[in-house]
Amino acid sequence: MPPASLVLAATGSVQLGAAIAKGLFDSLGPTGTVFLRVGFAALLLLVFWRPPLRGYPRTGYLVATLFGLVLAGMNLSIYLSFDRIPLGIAVTIEFIGPLGVAVAGSRRPLDLLWVALAATGILLLAPLGILGEVDLDPVGIAFAVLAGCLWAAYILLSARTGRIFPGGTGLVVALCVSTVVLLPVGVAGGGLALLDPKLLLAGFGVAVLSSAIPYSVEMEALRRLPARVFGVLMSLDPAVAALAGFIVLGERLEPRAIAAVLLVTVAAAGASRFSSKYT
């Protein structure tokens, strides 16, 4: 598949998983849910890839470990944000990360056009809440901002990890690190509910949609796309999150959200169309 198509597939998968995961918070809490998501994803990819975990430079393992710490922090932060503010608004705020990567990596005026279109679309998704017409939890906003900063680090570390390790080896190492880091807060938040077969099955589904599929295809895409173009393509996340909220959670799409979808789609298509000239 073309790298741009991989990014779009990852975007749809992760936001559908996020909407489903939010429905588990009443039973597992955000920490228990994120632990199941990351833990099952690590197990799935370990079985699927069966990667050789030895024979790489020490610096490679250090990068993969750092990648795992960032993954744990990013996922935990955004789930804690989801628990306090609406899905679409949380993802909109979180997008400061990839948008920042796109702006920092820009080298040509045309790149700035795609960033500007994406930024305009994102602002259309949540300006009413930001301006105070919706009562937003400041702690939820802070967690979304933290998730955005960690998302920027994720983009850069994922690309570097993919260059050091073949296939999904580096990702498996990172997810195993994330699982160990999230174990204490996951058990504390989920408690005995983590033993419920139905909740375990739901958590497995979230892991497939939100971690196993998107992380694998994103790493492959980052092998063939510059980080700045990847960041612009990820501008679809807020729009897709709003759509997932509508389909799964029954949240209505207002005209401004439809306009945002059009703007970020144009930005993603433009970045994809012209990326080969800048690679």
Secondary structure of the chain as H, E, C letters? CCHHHHHHHHHHHHHHHHHHHHCCHHHHHHHHHHHHHHHHHHHHHHHHHCCCCCCCCHHHHHHHHHHHHHHHHHHHHHHHHHCCCCHHHHHHHHCHHHHHHHHHCCCCHHHHHHHHHHHHHHHHHCHHHHCCCCCCCHHHHHHHHHHHHHHHHHHHHHHHHHHHCCCCHHHHHHHHHHHHHHHHHHHHHHHHHHHCHHHHHHHHHHHHHHHHHHHHHHHHHHCCCCHHHHHHHCCHHHHHHHHHHHHHHCCCCCHHHHHHHHHHHHHHHHHHHHHHHHC
Q: What is the pLDDT of residues 190-246, one digit of tens each?
A: 999 999 999 999 999 999 998 878 877 877 787 777 766 776 677 777 778 878 877
| pLDDT score for 74 | 95
Tell me the per-residue pLDDT of 146-157, one tens digit each, with 9 for 90 and over.
Answer: 999 998 898 888
Please tell me the distance from the alpha carbon of residue 58 to that of residue 114, in angstroms, as a whole number: 38
Q: What is the pLDDT of residue 132?
A: 41
User: What distance in Å separates the CA atoms of residue 122 and residue 82, rounded to the nearest whole number?
Assistant: 17
Task: With CA atoms as reference, report the closest residue to 61 among 165, 195, 143.
Answer: 165
Read off the amino acid at residue 84: R
The amino acid that residue 143 corresponds to is F
Contact indicator for 137, 82 with CB cutoff of 8 Å = no
What does pTM read for this prediction?
A: 0.81
**Helix-helix angle 213-222:3-22, to 10 degrees:** 150
Which residue from 14, 11, 26, 32 is spatially nearest to 187, judged by alpha carbons? Answer: 32
Contact 206, 13 (CB under 8 A): no
Q: Is the dihedral of CA 174, 28, 137, 256 positive or negative?
A: positive
The reported pLDDT for the residue numbered 266 is 77
Average the pLDDT over 21-50 and give the result: 90
**Residue labelled with tokens 């935990």:** 76
